[in-house]
Amino acid sequence: MGEMGAGHFIYIPSMILLGVVIGWILGSRAARDAYAAELRRREHDATRKAAKAAKGAGHAAPSP
């Protein structure tokens, strides 16, 4: 087995740092997309709930 050269002390940490940076970018994108999806879901649920309430109010007994 040959000895490791000085290049390993630069190459290996730089590859680890590159992996951390790529993971940070992809993770932040995924978190941003999940947050946006949650906001859309809540807005959609609120719209459906309001429509259901309005529809239910329309079936109330008529006033004399």
Q: What is the mean pLDDT of residues 26-41?
A: 97
pTM tops 0.85, yes or no: no
Enter the tokens of residue 54.
Answer: 């309005």
Reported as a pLDDT band with limits 50, 70 and 90, residue 22 is very high
Q: Above 90 in pLDDT, residue 15?
A: yes
Q: Compute the chain's Rg from CA coordinates.
A: 28
Q: Say if residue 50's pLDDT is above 70.
A: yes
